Structures are given as C-alpha cells and as structure tokens.
Chains A and B, each alone.
Chain A
Amino acid sequence: MKNSGYVVLVIILIFLLGKACIRRDIPETQIQKQEVQQEKLTLDFYPANRKNVTINGVDYIQTDLPAGKFGGTMINSTIGEGPKTFNPFNSKDATSSTFADIMYDGLVTIDPVSGQYIPKLAKSFEISGNDYIVHLRHGVKWSDGKPITADDVYFTWKNIILDGYGNTSTRDSISVSGKLPTVQKLDDYTVKFTTPEPFAPFLASLSTPVAPKHIFEPAVKKGKEFFDTFMSTNINPKDLVTSGPFRMVEYVPAQRAVYKRNPDYYMINSKGEKLPYLDKIIYLIVGDANNEVLKFEGGELDVIGVKGSDVPRFKERQTHGDFSMINLGPDTGTMYLSMNLNDRKDENGKPYVDPIKGKWFRDLNFRKAVDLVIDRENMVYNIANGFAKPLFTPESLNSIFLNEELKPYPRDVEKAKEFLRASGFTWDKKGRLRDKDGNRVEFDLLTNAGNSEREAIGVMVKQDLEDLGMKVNFKPIEFNSLVNKLLSTYEWDMVVMGLTGSPLEPNGGKNVWLSNGALHMYNQRKPAEAGVNLLPWEKELDYLFEKGATALSFEDRKKYYDRYQEIIYNEKPMIYLYSPVRISAIRNKFKNVYPTSLGGIIHNIEEIYIDTGGGNGHN
C-alpha cells in the first residue's frame, strides 16, 4: 500500500519520458502566411506649409494641415532616471534636453524634411556675410504673460551663453579659433549676431532656447555656482516660465512629468484656431527599454521607439493592434571597434600601450586585416534582428554629409591573411598568429558590461579575430571604468563602443577627430601633449575640420567632410560595424502624424490630434 504512490509516480515518469522520446515526424502543412498589413505611415511625407500671419498684432505661424479636434492626452516615455534639471542651459543629458525642448522654443528650428533651418520663435532671419539679423515675433508671450522681446534674446546670448553659464557646449561649438560671436540688440524685436569669421554651424546654434530675462537675470547675478543649481528638478513646475507649446504642470520624480497645453501659443491651424490640439502630454520616466516595451504592450504608452529584436513581436501585434509602425531609417548612433594607437609614455616613462602590441595596432595592414575579418552581416542579423545596416564610414547612414563613394565590402578572411603576411606576420604549426619577432598576437577586447548588445558583438568579434589565429581576451567591464580607461589612463588594447552623432552637422564630431579632442580615444593626448607626434592623417583631419566649419556653402563643406570620411575609411583608426535602424510605433488614434527620418515621429507635436472615431485624417 505504502509503495503504490511510488509505483504511480514511476509510471507517470516513464510515460512522460516516453512521450518526450517518441515523436512522430509529420511534415508541417503549409505555414500560414501572415497577412502583412500595409504600413499606414509614409516616411518623409510632410505636406504642411507654414506661413506667418498677423492677427491683432500677433505674429502667428499658420499651418495648412487638416484641422483636427482639440483635447486628449499623449503618453510618451524617456528611458533612464529622468531629467536632471529643468534649466535648459544646464542640461547635459538627453532627457533633460528633451524636456527643455518641449518647454522652450529656440529662434530657429530644423525643417523635418530638408534639414534646413527655418524660423520658429524668430519671425524671419537674414544672413549677410558674418551677420545674422533675426526679427522676432510681435505679441508672443511667456507663460506668465510677459512679452518675449529682443531683451530676452540679447540677455540669453550675452549673459548666459557667451559668458559661459551652465553647460558651455553651445558656446564651445560656436567658438572659432578661440573667438566668439557678438550679439547686438537693434530694436525691441530685432537682434543682430556677428561671427568673427565665416562660420557655417552658427545658424544651428540659434535653435538653443531663449530664456525669460526677468526670471533668469537674478540667477545669473548670483554667479555660476548658483546658476548650476538654478531650476533644478525640485522646483515647483508651476513656477517655470516657458515659451513652448506645452507647460509642465506636474513632475513626479522617477515616474513622470505632465505637460498641459499652452493656450497662448503662437501657432494656428487653417481655421485660425490656436494650436496645439492635444490637451496634455505625459512623459513616463521608464528605467529600461524592457519595461518600456511592456508598458506599450500593456497600453500605458502611446509612442515608442522599437528595438530591432522586438520588431517581430510588434509586427504580430500590429496586424490586430491599434498602432502603426514606421521605419525611420538609419539611426544616428554608430557602433565601432577601435584600437589604441597611442605610442606615448606616462609620467613614469611607462608606455600606455605595451610596445609590442602598439606596433601591431599602428600597423595599417593589421588594422585592415581586422576590419576585413569582421562579420558585419551576421551582427546585423543576430543582434538587431536584421534591422540595421553594416556601416563603413564614420558618418551615420542618414547624414546629409555621407560620402556615398565609400563602398561596403564583404568579409574576406583570405585577403585579411594576405595583409598580415605583408607585414611579416606568420602562423605557427598550431595556427597561432605570431608577429615578425615571433610574439604571439594576444590582446584584450573591452566593452561595457551590462549591455547585452555590445557583449554579443564582443563575443562575435573575438570569434572573428580568432579565425586569424589571434588570441583575444574579451572582457566586458563596468561602463564608468571603461570610460576611465579610454580617456584617462589609456590602458586598453581594443574596444567595442558606440557614439551618437548628428545627421546634419559633422562638426559635432570634432571632439572625436581633432588630434587634441576630448574624445580622440584611439590616440588620446593629454592637454600637455597637444600636437605631439601627429600621424600625417591626423594632421589632415585637424585641417579638414577647421576648414569644414568655416566654409559656408554646403558643397564646399561637403568636400572637406567627404575627405575626412575617406581618411577614416582608409586608415581605420575606428572600424565601424553597423548602424541600427530606428523604428517607432504610435497609436492609430493620433492623426496628422507625418514621420520624417530627421524629425522622428512626433516632430510636429502641435499639429497632432486625437480622433478615435477613425476616418478623416490623412490615413
């Protein structure tokens, strides 16, 4: 009796085992082909025409998109810990900048299709030589009712930006060989900027927010230290004086920020009604991408950026879901592999890089061999689920400055071996690669731990290089320690990293490419070492970046930037791997959605409205 339980248990186990072992081979019937719905959204189709109209002394922007319904909420999200500051001149991270962009308008903005700069808070602007004359709109007000005038613009530029308050990145980006532009107030609604030399990227900097003088002036008077903590996230959102289409009304740390419509915004629809349509925008602060996907799936989010690996899931849901996806084209982010070309010594006379290894890395044939053996294609398939493009140039694939002449090439192990042979590398009996002095080729490959994507790339690169007989010790380390190695101690051999760039302005990459740039990691120099043993092509890059920024016409600039890409393509200090494709999803209830590759999916947030009845939108 007592044993009967065991007998039953054993019988069940045997049965289960048998069931697992005995499987009949029945060929699947035709796999049902999934109906793939036509994507509802089309990329880079933005039919809006904007013009300035003056009604009752107020200079409005009028758009001619179909008029929509007012009201409703859009729930968006940002990944990370949330904004660090609400002071637009202090933001050093993407989330703070996103939040600032909603609340504060700049003088100009980017045309989401052409990438040209068009007036925004400015009614118009004229450029003649080094002079930029900006005319402001009449009758536009801050959220506390005070008018926005030339005083605000002058103050913003003179006392905040040019005097180096807060994050000085705007100031740095417009200094030409140490000289800064000047600003002048011509009258209450006209401001003139003058650059010391012809300087093409200056117009872009006019998109920085304009600050309300009556709020910021007291803070500026208290000095830079005070300014750094001014308008921190502890501030009551109702005290923020802003100019954008939405005003912040609630901020719950680590959870969300709620924006309400600005009823006095200077944009109107074709019927003359004041935009924006949406009553509220909520930004959820989501800690990581996985949680964001879950929230979208659970209906708590309206807009989301979709990772390649999640696309199948979204496709499947899209067919009977209430949202559409759009492929926005290549992302500005790039993934690359880099080698340490540094041949200098630290204060104690110890070389940063082991001289034996350094010799390999500085050997162009070695770099070419490494480049040729990288299997970009499978990286794209495995890691991004096919939603990425192999990359061979430093400019991302959607850059307007992309050098189209630089052609992709396939993986070629034999050719790679030839390059190695040409530099005297040999293989011993066991197939291990040795340099011409007989040293075993062995080095460390670093990336930041915790990022599954990069870890997977690292594993693949290691395998690829081992096909050449190299021994690669792959070591993912903590992100902050990695940066410390790259930029301070220079103790690294090879690294897999990513950087983001701008599709419009290659000058933003000067920190990476100038020989004394702060992110010139592949051959980082201490400030004291500026200009020390420049490689010939490093010298040329310095020249190209200086020329590229001061040339004015697009064609002239393109020539310099084409050459810079060619140098990187040939010299391979950084070996580019792939550039992910940006995919966004948005609920179908939103109308007037016209995604563009430059502006993303909600660049025209003022014109987007909600229509749950379906029907009369452009869809």
Chain B
Amino acid sequence: MFKEIFNGLIKDKFAKIALWVLFIIYFALAFANFIAPYSKDFANRSLAYAPPSKIFTIDEKGKLSRPYTYNYKRSFDETNFSIYRLDRSQKYYLKFFARGEDGKFHLVTVDKGGQLFLLGTDINGRDVFSRILFGGRISMTIGFLALFVLFPIGMIYGGVSGYFGGKVDAVMMRIAEGIMSIPSFYLLIILASILPAGMTSIQRFMLIVIILAFIGWAGFARVVRGMVLSIKNQEFVQAAKSIGASDFRIITKHILPQTTSFIIVAITLSIPSYILSESGLSFLGLGIQQPDASWGNMLKEAQVFSNIIYRPWLLTPGFLIFIAVLSFNLIGDTIRDILDPKSKIR
C-alpha cells in the first residue's frame, strides 16, 4: 500500500512539488543548529528590528567579489526614531562551513564582528531567520505529536464503542458528542488557560500537544465507530468470533486494520489543522511562550501595523505556515484520491 501511495504522489505534479517543499523544510529544521547562522539564545539588543543584511557579490568598483556584507548601525535622528544605515567602513566576508559566534560550525557565517541577519531581527535583536528554523521545529512537529496521541485513543474508543454497540455505544458516543459540541477553538483556549504557570518550555509543549489531542479524538472516534459498525458484521469477523477469539483480539487484529487506509488519509488531512491551531493559540499568547519561538508567536509581531509597513520581514513565519499547510493539504488530497476517492473527510 505504501508503494502505491508513493508512486501516486510522485506521479502528481502538485504533490511532488509539495513533497519536495516539505522535505526541504523538515531537512532545514532537522539541521537547524547547523543551518542557522546564530544559536537559539543569540540576541543583540542594540540591533532591534534591523533590516535583512544586504549581501554583495559585486563590489563598489564593479568587480566580482566573494560575497560580503556590511554591518548595520543604528542611529536616532532628531525626531528620535531609529534608523539603520549600512556602515560602509568595513566589509565582512561570508564564510561557509565555519565557526560562528557560538564557536560551533555553521553553514554560513561572517567574519568576526560582522552581522548576518538573512531575514532581519525582531524587537529583542534576535535573528529572525534562525528563530524561524528553531520555531519551525515546534510548529511543524506539534501536529504530528498530537496525532500520535489522539489516534490510538480514538481508534480504541471508536472500535470498542462500535463493536459492542447497544448501551455501551450509546453512552460512549454521547460523551464523544458532548465534547464535539463544545466549539473546539474555545475549548482549546479554556484548556490552554488552565495550563499551570511555571512549566518548563518542554512541559508546556507536551501539554499543548495533549490539549490538541484531547480536542481531536472525539470526532475521530466517531468516524472509526461508524466504520467498525459496518465491518463487524462481515464474514471474517463472524468467523473470528466463532473460533472463540477474544473481543480485544477481534477489535485490534481484525477490525481496526481494515480502517488503515482511512486513517492514513485522516492523518495527512488533519495535520494542517493542528499546525493552524497552534499558530492561532500562540497568536493569542496562550501557546508557546517567549523566549521560545514558534511560528505562531513570531507572527504576533505582525499584528502591529507599523511592523507590517516597515518591517515586512517579520511576516515570513506567516508565509511559511501557509506553504507548509498547503503542502500537507496537497499531499493529503492526493493520498485520499489514491486510497479512498469517495472519502468524506474534510
């Protein structure tokens, strides 16, 4: 089946591009420490909101040169607002595979004393490009982790409910429907505001994963239950029953495997919504917190009008969310068409 999926994805132009895009994104995130010019904790506060560094390959005499850059210098003019100007007194050459300011090897860095802000800096003078890489690690994995938590729960819940039917089913489904009837975004906010303060960032991250899972499992369980209902009367299940297999065994070994293709489709199609949920939560200040980065909380700065006009580089995380989510959607659509063309999963 996986071969089938892969071949199908390669054949589809859009899906192929999407696969490449995601591959590049995840590759960059995996090697963020190496690719990012700066470490996670780097900040140069005298360079808040510095624009992206200009990299020159042809020098002022018109000759081809090794790529170099100038530093920015901040000045406050008479009306008191900060202006960045290039300090042309010294060139800083770009170095590849060299030690950076933290003494570790980086893909690209500059001569000592130079600045290399590929996407400018934020309010605390932190390199936006590096933060995007580190923040992406959170934004792009949180959905996956939530799915890993919620899928087993949803499958077992739905499986048990559908298999036993009757009163068990009625009670279990009422509970699931109850949770589904609370508009999910508000449930998300309520849950996020319960998070005890004073957690480490890893704890916070894990709890947000659990919250996302808590919201998602009910809808999933309901669909699984529907499928189980139709599968459980098929001959092979009856056969398994007649040879005395235990209920648990029948559910896990005979019924649930039948739902695999549905699950694969559901996974790829629901990842985007978790990425978007995380960004929405962080946008409201309830998700990943400073000083940790996530694409959602980096976008918070994009709310400010002046930032959009004067510091458009702060919008990059928004476009990255867009690209990543779109890629997941395209791949999900293709997989759905391959495995389950009539699927009703949204």
The residues of A with any CB-CB pair to B shorter than 8 Å are: 21-28, 31, 36, 290, 293-294, 297, 309-313, 315, 375, 378, 381-383, 385-387, 444, 446, 449-452, 455-456, 458-460, 462-463, 473-478, 481-482, 485, 491
Contact = CB atoms under 8 A, between A and B. Distances in A.
B200 interface: yes
Contact of B57 (A23, A294, A315, A475): A23
B86 to A, nearest CB: 8
A311 B200 contact: no
B125 interface: yes
9 contacts: A23-B58, A36-B79, A382-B45, A385-B81, A386-B81, A449-B285, A459-B291, A463-B43, A485-B197
A27 B285 CA distance: 42
Contacts of A36: 78-79
Contacts of B54: 23
B76 A481 contact: no
Given A313-B310, A381-B76, A386-B80, 11 more contacts: A23-B56, A25-B58, A26-B60, A312-B81, A313-B306, A378-B45, A378-B46, A385-B81, A462-B291, A476-B289, A478-B286
A385 B304 CA distance: 14
B285 A450 contact: yes
A402 to B, nearest CB: 22
Nearest to A485: B197
Nearest to B76: A386
Contacts of A456: 123-124, 290
Given A313-B306, A476-B285, A21 B67 contact: yes
Contact of B305 (A27, A294, A311, A444): A294
B198 interface: yes
A382 B124 contact: yes
A475 B82 contact: no
B193 A450 contact: no
A311 B307 CA distance: 12
Contact of A452 (B56, B123, B199): B123
Contacts of A476: 285, 289-290
Contacts of B56: 23-25
B48 A381 contact: yes
Which residue among B49, B74, B123, B309 has the maximum number of chain A CB atoms within 10 Å of its CB?
B123
B174 to A, nearest CB: 32
A126 B42 CA distance: 64
B167 interface: no
Given A26-B60, A449-B286, A455-B290, A311 B81 contact: yes
B59 interface: yes
Interface residues of B, number: 47
Interface string B286-324: 100111000000001101111101100000000000000
B289 A475 contact: yes
A450 B284 contact: yes
B79 A27 contact: no
Given A290-B305, A381-B48, A386 B124 contact: no
B284 to A, nearest CB: 7
B342 interface: no
Contacts of B74: 381
A131 B236 CA distance: 98
B58 A24 contact: yes
B124 A459 contact: yes
Contact of A313 (B67, B123, B200, B305): B305
Contacts of A474: 290-291
A386 B60 contact: no
A458 B290 contact: yes
B81 A459 contact: no
Contacts of B307: 309
Contacts of B123: 382-383, 452, 456
A481 B86 CA distance: 45
B55 interface: yes
Nearest to B74: A381
A297 B308 CA distance: 14
B82 A386 contact: yes
B290 A387 contact: no
A460 B67 contact: no
Nearest to B304: A290
A416 B294 CA distance: 34
A27 B48 CA distance: 23
A24 B62 contact: yes
B56 to A, nearest CB: 4
Interface in B87-134: 88, 123-125
Contacts of B309: 313
B289 A297 contact: no
Nearest to A444: B198
A375 B125 CA distance: 14
A21 B46 contact: no
Among all A-B residue pairs, the 7 with the closest Cβ atoms: A450-B285, A477-B197, A382-B48, A25-B56, A24-B58, A312-B81, A449-B285
Contacts of B57: 21-24
Interface string B52-78: 001111111010000100000010101
Contacts of A382: 45, 48-49, 123-125
Contacts of B82: 381, 385-386
Contacts of B286: 449-450, 478
B305 A293 contact: yes
Contacts of B284: 450
Contacts of B60: 25-27
Contact of B197 (A387, A460, A482): A482
Interface string B124-147: 110000000000000000000000
A473 B202 CA distance: 13
B77 to A, nearest CB: 9
A446 B67 CA distance: 43
Given A309-B306, A312-B306, A22 B289 contact: no
A381 B88 CA distance: 23
Contacts of A460: 45, 124
A451 B199 CA distance: 19
Which residue among A21, A31, A294, A477 has the maximum number of chain B CB atoms within 10 Å of its CB?
A477
Interface in B14-68: 43, 45-46, 48-49, 54-60, 62, 67
B15 to A, nearest CB: 16
Contacts of A444: 198
Nearest to A5: B13
A396 to B, nearest CB: 20
Nearest to A455: B290
A387 B82 CA distance: 11
A564 to B, nearest CB: 32
A292 B56 CA distance: 40
Contacts of A313: 305-306, 309-310
A147 to B, nearest CB: 49
A63 B281 CA distance: 54
Contact of B79 (A315, A383, A463): A315
Nearest to B124: A459
Which residue among A25, A458, A462 has the maximum number of chain B CB atoms within 10 Å of its CB?
A25
A486 B92 CA distance: 49
Contact of B45 (A22, A23, A463, A481): A463
Contacts of A463: 43, 45
A475 B197 contact: yes
A27 B301 CA distance: 31
A182 B286 CA distance: 50
A310 B306 contact: yes
Which residue among B62, B74, B124, B193 has the maximum number of chain A CB atoms within 10 Å of its CB?
B124
Contacts of A475: 197-199, 289
A31 to B, nearest CB: 8
Interface in B172-226: 193, 197-200
Given A382-B45, A452-B301, A22 B198 contact: no
